Amino acid sequence: MTQLGQACEQFYGFQQAPFGLTPNTDFYVELPCQQQAFELLVFALTSGEGFIKITGEVGTGKTLLCRRLLNTLARDGVRCAYIPNPALTAAGLWRAVARELALPGEDKSDLQIQEDIQHCLLQFALAGQPVVLIIDEAQCMPDDTLEALRLISNLETERQKLVQIVLFGQPELNHTLATSRFRQLLQRITYSADLRPLNNSEALAVYLQQRLCIAGYRGMPLFQSSALEYLWQASRGIPRLVNILAAKTLLVGYGCGSHTLEARHVAKAVADTEGAYPLLPDWSWLRISSLCAAVILVLI
């Protein structure tokens, strides 16, 4: 951490940085859409469903939710195979799954790898231990690799699936699955959820305050209402962008020696961030002038 960052944390009384970009489950905020998606995941996996899909735009918290799921499953004794980068060939996917299951793959053919995986999953099933395959950034999977994933999902006994699959991906994944080639795979997805941005400045205020509290802040609300509205518009409620802008706003406020953050501080953070959205136009003046014109016409 830089000296500036440390000084900023000390100035505001933080024990750690509240708006880091690394998906840290210690800073998980139970937003409504996140809570619904997590409860759906737990329910679907407990029910033994084969395929679950979670989608959301860039920065809406998919990876953080994925990390929370991994931690929960590990605590519950569920065996997980985690593929964070699925831009693999079909054969590469099978081998990646084998590595996650701690199966030796050197000097083995693709067919042997597949047979070893099936045998391993059968042993887990006989031992009563569920196995979950979790794939992050699933929109990056080539078509042939998606087809291989369907074949993996076919592994089952007469009574149960040998492996459950959870896909996390951007909306492009939905477009791919909607094509005729993947209609069989799409039909296997029994549960799905979409992660959405924060829908207003009030939800943003809750998000910010919870992260500040986790970081050790115990003072009065830092962000004034004008700052919250500006921050929400500039970020469109996307958590990752909120974190970037909020962190920069804190630095601006520290530089100004201000213990409360105003719209002017947010404005400087926005000006320094290429990904920030322009402010939405304020059409209130147009509505007022139209009303005045209508009144004048009535009087005439």
Residue 99: pLDDT band (50, 70, 90) is: very high
Structural domain contains residue 287: no
195, 228, 263 - which closes a domain: 195
Of the candidates 171, 168, 184, 176, the residue with the CA atom closest to the CA atom of residue 133: 168
Residue 158: pLDDT band (50, 70, 90) is: confident
Average the pLDDT over 63-82 and give the result. Answer: 94
Average the pLDDT over 92-111 and give the result. Answer: 92
Euclidean distance between the first and the last CA atom of the chain, given in angstroms as a whole number: 68
Q: Interior CA angle at 12 toward 6 and 15, to 5°?
A: 60
Question: 130 and 186, same structural domain?
Answer: yes
Structural domain contains residue 77: yes
Structural domain contains residue 284: no
Question: 112 and 166, same structural domain?
Answer: yes
160, 195, 230 - which closes a domain: 195
Question: 232 and 90, same structural domain?
Answer: no
169, 195, 221 - which closes a domain: 195
Question: 93 and 224, same structural domain?
Answer: no
Residue 1: pLDDT band (50, 70, 90) is: low
Contact in structure between 164 and 130 (CB atoms under 8 Å) = yes
Give buried/exposed letters for 48-82 (b at 16+ CB in 10 A, else e). ebbbbbbbbeebbbbbbbbbbbbeebeeeebbbbb
**Is pLDDT at 93 greater than 50 in this prediction?**
yes
Q: What is the CATH number of the domain that holds 99?
A: 3.40.50.300
Question: 226 and 170, same structural domain?
Answer: no
Question: 43 and 140, same structural domain?
Answer: yes
pLDDT in tens, 190-242: 999 999 999 999 999 999 999 999 999 998 999 999 999 999 999 999 999 99
Question: 167 and 208, same structural domain?
Answer: no
Average the pLDDT over 80-106 and give the result. Answer: 94
Residue 286: pLDDT band (50, 70, 90) is: very low
Domain count, the chain: 2
Structural domain contains residue 115: yes
DSSP H or E run through 258: none
Question: 235 and 87, same structural domain?
Answer: no
Structural domain contains residue 212: yes
In this structure, how many other beta carbons lie within 10 angstroms of the beta carbon of residue 31? 21
Structural domain contains residue 288: no
Contact in structure between 263 and 226 (CB atoms under 8 Å) = yes
Structural domain for 89, as ranges = 32-195
Question: 134 and 7, same structural domain?
Answer: no
Question: 208 and 189, same structural domain?
Answer: no
pLDDT in tens, 209-221: 999 999 999 989 9
Give me the pLDDT at residue 280, please. 61
Question: 125 and 262, same structural domain?
Answer: no
Backbone angles phi, psi at 260, to 5 degrees: -130, 145
pLDDT in tens, 252-279: 999 999 999 999 999 999 999 998 998 7
Give me the pLDDT at residue 283, please. 40
**Is pLDDT at 284 greater than 70 in this prediction?**
no
Question: 160 and 215, same structural domain?
Answer: no
Q: In what order do the strands lie in the sheet with 79-83?
A: 79-83, 131-135, 164-169, 51-56, 189-195
